Structure 1
Amino acid sequence: MTRALMTRRMAAAVLATGLLLAGCSSGDGQPEPTGSATDVSSESPSSTEPTTAAPGPTPWPEPTRPTAMERDDIEGAKAAAEYFLALYPYVYATGDLEEWQAMSHPECQFCAAVADDVSELHSSGGYGVGGEIVVAEMGALPPDGEYTHFRVGVRGTESASSSFSADGEPLASAKGGEVNYTIAVLAEDGWTIRGLATEEQ
């Protein structure tokens, strides 16, 4: 499965479970977002799709773990979701899955699909660039009688991304754009991601 197709396919699989979206409406079907735009990547590489073969992997700084993740409330859940989104371009660029897997719940299909895709890409010498997320709005709902997880709603923009082979030849690309995410975040032995659904605008 290529990176260009993975996000859409996994979104459909996660949405089909009904895990995230049912019962978390704040009037418009999503947790009510609050706040202003935030770039959740550590830096902002160019979001323009390469037109020629890339020269090789570009170093990508590891995202900083937010101090708010020490909390076990809504603010902690939002910080955990934002950190997880920041890890997405990092794991594709570097192949370093340690933090990603530490935060991935065993039943998170999206988390496992990304880990498999990254492992396959990097095991053959490939790499990815782009895919950083700028958060425009974020809101969250706490666990209740039906859900044991926090439901974090994110509206933002994902930059263009591409995957390359070991010799720098393009393998796949995605144009990016505006997205809505709903992320199920569990407070169990630290923060873990139970699932993620995405709807492209």
Structure 2
Amino acid sequence: MTMTRRRSALGAALMAVGLVVAGCSDSEGNASPTTEPPPGPTAATEEPTSPAPGPTPWPEPTRPEAMERDDIEGAEAAARYFMELYHYIFATGDLKEWQSMSGPDCRFCAGAAERVQELFADGGYATGGAFAVQEVETQAPSERERATLVALTGVEAPSREYGSDGAEIASLEGGPATYIFALDREGATWIVVGGDVEGAEE
């Protein structure tokens, strides 16, 4: 069951994403980001003793009907869908849906897309990384922050990246994590305007 709370253990994390989205302005009023979240699984590892078995088929996520709603339920559905797309793009290199939901100033979104393009341009691919959502917490828009903030807490499966020769080039061991997305409604569509990821609080 999803939970919408006014105050929660993730309140500080949600506020942090809000600050990333809002950013700060220079003397000309141009927004500048305050942090740059990691774009994707890039941790270096030792070379494997045997080549990878090849890309694992990864079904394209189904866009939920609830995303048509312009309320909290719609924002939560959009965040879950974007989370599914995050691992889908690393497995397939298909960025169409990811980019259609990515805001022009979302550095998390752009960083992930750039890493995927680099990986597949070199003939590589990734496996694993499925995320099992255990809790959803949401912060509704306010006078100071127009975006809806959604935190997805759960457990991420291990993931691996491979080069064109099948050799492992990067890995993440997975485990508890929280993905936080800031979403804005543009017309009839939800757009991700900011994102971050961190270890889940105990």
What's the counterpart of residue 191 of structure 2? 192
Q: Distance in 2 between matches of 1:27 and 1:140?
A: 10
1:2-13 map, 5 Å: none
> Which one has the largest radius of gyration?
2
What's the counterpart of residue 117 of structure 2? 119
Contact 2:6 2:139 survives alignment (8 Å): no
Change (3 A) 1:138 1:149: same
Q: Distance in 2 between matches of 1:152 and 1:65?
A: 17
What's the counterpart of residue 26 of structure 1? 7
Q: Deviations over 1:111-170 (max 9, x none)?
A: 000000000000111000111110000021211101111011221111100000112110
Q: Distance in 1 between matches of 2:120 and 2:8?
A: 43
Change (3 A) 1:99 1:86: same
What's the counterpart of residue 86 of structure 1? 84
Letter in 2 for 1:83: Y
Percent identity, aligned pairs only, is 47
TM (normalized to structure 1)?
0.75
Pick aligned residue for 1:96 from 88, 94, 97: 94
1:176-191 map, 5 Å: 176-189=174-187, 190-191=189-190
Deviation at 1:53, TM superposition (A): 1.8
SS of 2:66's equivalent in the other structure is helix
SS of 1:185's equivalent in the other structure is strand
SS of 1:181's equivalent in the other structure is strand
What's the counterpart of residue 173 of structure 2? 175
Q: Distance in 2 between matches of 1:154 and 1:170?
A: 29
1:46-57 map, 5 Å: 52-57=50-55
1:98-177 map, 5 Å: 98-177=96-175
SS of 2:97's equivalent in the other structure is helix
Contact 2:67 2:75 survives alignment (8 Å): yes
Deviation at 1:25, TM superposition (A): 6.4
SS of 2:11's equivalent in the other structure is coil
Segments of structure 1 that go 5 or more residues without pairing to the other structure are: 1-23, 32-49
